[in-house]
Structure 1
Amino acid sequence: MSAYDAIEGGKSAARPETSGWLARAIHRNGAGYLFLAPWLIGFFCLTLGPALVSLYLSFTDFDLLTSPEFVGAQNYVRMVTADAKFAAAIRVTLVYVALSVPLKLAFALAIAMVLNRGMRALPAYRAIFYLPSLLGTSVAIAVLWRQLFAADGFVNSLLATVGIEGPSWISNPNYSLYTLVVLSVWQFGSPMIIFLAGLRQIPADMYEAASLDGASSRRQFLRITLPLLSPVIFFNVVIQTIEAFKAFTPAFIISGGSGGPINSTLFYTLYLYQEAFSYFRMGYASALAWVLVIIIAIFTAFSFLTTKYWVHYDD
């Protein structure tokens, strides 16, 4: 028997084992991968693929009409050193996040505590309070909000009945951002439902024991409700802050896509949209998008690092 015959014999002997392993793997996991296929296709084609392309474009000069031209870190350098609107967008967005998230969560927690006391038709109240969260990001609600806070809108008409002359809330840079904050707080339904579920998990006998010991309602809230609800608060803080950073529709509709007077409502996402679809600076817009990803990632990481100081779990 020659060496060639020995090698070929070894290959033919290995093929059934290899094919048998592959067949067993397909038989064992094929159904799982088949069910995962829609998600895998969506993840690689609609999420990961575009994200990687965007990362590449952030290092290029690209206007949709010509081929991308690699410029290195020029987009990021310009962003930090020579773009005043970038600084304005960062400032407006941070102010919006700092105001809207705490106010929304405080209002949502207050409503959840009222509903947790028990009342008739509780499912109906939950549905009614949750409705703004479903409608709040729609174009129709943004248009309605612009009409409410216009110079001759409903808010000023209501103030006029008590002798107060209201300003033009939308066109006045001193007030325009706060109208968007109020709109965000009005969308308190989603965190309210989560708070209500968390409140239902707190044992009632803890409040009974605290009452017997003479603890006031305020002390029960500080010593029982907040510590036991801290994991839910943490979840809501992270989710709502990310959503606030990504807010776009209200600012776009209410300001007419311009960012309001003196860039007072120039949200970061709105500025990104202007660079991409108004000026067709796709490379620069991609760099802006990745900076936003980094900002959100830093905030999320910081939130998780601080949990050991204020989030209390059962163990």
Structure 2
Amino acid sequence: MSASPPTTAESKPGAAGEAGAPPVRGPRGAAGRRSSGIRGGERLAGYTFMLPWLIGTAVLTIGPMAWSLYLSFTDYHLIRGGEWTGLTNYRAVFDDPMFFRTVRVTLMYVAVSVPIKLVASLFVAMLLSQRRRGMGFYRAAFYMPSLIAMSVGVALIWKALFSNDGVQDSIMSSFGWEGGGFLGNPSVSILMLVLLAVWSFGAPMVIFLAGLMQVPQQLYEAAEVDGAGKWRKFVHITLPMLSPVIFFNVLMETVGAFQLFGPAYIIGGEAGAPAWSTLFYTVRIYTLAFTDFRMGFASAYAWILVLAVGIVTIIMFRAAKQLVFYAGEDR
């Protein structure tokens, strides 16, 4: 009598699969419904927490921008309303005698203030990156001016310091300079706004400081073994490793400089005193909108600024592909 062949799964591994048994599948039924319910609940919670931000963005940012874009194509007056005029406002902007004056003042401020501010913030950040006792106090002290620099109170103090009979005038006159205060000299008046921007270098300084903390010390140690000095280590190690941080700070400070309004308006007024030397582009927009009540014309001014800043941003991102080094990428 012959022995029967083994039929259990233990006697023949994989027999169930070969015999056409259904393959093993993932969790189904209540467990699957439970997991999908959890994912749905998490998604709902995420949208719920995002809802205030989404509403605020739509009501306070996207809505006003869309309305401003519409107004730029109309002859809208804040009191009497207006009508659709097409590109008339945009053509009128370039015919405005103040347009190129405000562009020149704004570009001069951007070109001077941004490099000086970033160089000063990087220099101070390198000093504060040293591991010494009490360094936390100095970091907080250097950062503090950036919290109040763009306030109305500081702008008024700055105006008093650099006026014709202010502290700056008294100090400079003691050295024989009788040119008056910065506020009374059109050739140097914009420098007080540049100094105010440089004085408030706390934000880029903190970002530079965070970037310096991430530079591997092994690179500096290897450079010292090869005989590299401080300057060579700065040029060949610090700057390449900080290039993403430098690019971020340059981008943010440039965009912010184009939008300067508060100190310029408080110090120079609507006329950009003295002799339009502090008449920034944003001040001109404010004057057209809320003094002359020409909202359509002011909106066209504003959208030209948006377009200009967008073009500058695109150029900077294109240049960053060649100038910015990211750790781990091959060049």
TM-score, normalised with respect to structure 2: 0.85
1:263 maps to 2:276 = yes
* Structure 2: gaps spanning 5 or more residues: 1-36
Distance (whole Å) between structure 2 residues aligned to residue 53 and residue 185 of structure 1: 35
In the other structure, the counterpart of 1:286 is 299
Distance (whole Å) between structure 2 residues aligned to residue 49 and residue 223 of structure 1: 47
In the other structure, the counterpart of 2:326 is 313
In the other structure, the counterpart of 2:73 is 59
In the other structure, the counterpart of 2:189 is 176
1:46 maps to 2:60 = yes
The runs of at least 4 aligned residues of structure 1 exceeding 6 Å deviation read none
Amino acid at match of 2:253: Q
Q: Tell me if structure 1 keeps the 8 A contact 2:179–2:185.
A: no
Distance (whole Å) between structure 1 residues aligned to residue 212 and residue 40 of structure 2: 46
Distance (whole Å) between structure 1 residues aligned to residue 78 and residue 169 of structure 2: 45
C-alpha deviation, 1:119, in angstroms: 2.5
Amino acid at match of 2:151: S
Distance (whole Å) between structure 1 residues aligned to residue 101 and residue 298 of structure 2: 16
Alignment partner of 1:209 out of 222, 243, 247: 222
Please provide the CA RMSD for this pair. 1.6
Aligned sequence identity (%): 49
| 3-state SS in 2 of match to 1:150 | coil
Distance (whole Å) between structure 2 residues aligned to residue 77 and residue 163 of structure 1: 49
Distance (whole Å) between structure 2 residues aligned to residue 171 and residue 257 of structure 1: 16
| 3-state SS in 2 of match to 1:103 | helix
Matches within 5 A, 1:230-245: 230-245=243-258
In the other structure, the counterpart of 2:11 is none
Amino acid at match of 2:133: R
Amino acid at match of 1:248: F
Q: 1:180 to 1:28 in 2, by over 3 A?
A: closer
Deviations 1:49-88 (A, max 9, x none): 11111100000011111232100000001112x1110111
CA radius of gyration, larger in:
2
TM-score, normalised with respect to structure 1: 0.89
C-alpha deviation, 1:289, in angstroms: 1.0
* Count of matched residue pairs: 292
Matches within 5 A, 1:1-315: 29-80=43-94, 82-314=95-327, 315=329
Q: 1:242 to 1:211 in 2, by over 3 A?
A: same
Range moving further from structure 2, 63-72 or 100-109: 63-72
| 3-state SS in 2 of match to 1:261 | coil
| 3-state SS in 2 of match to 1:312 | coil
Amino acid at match of 1:48: I
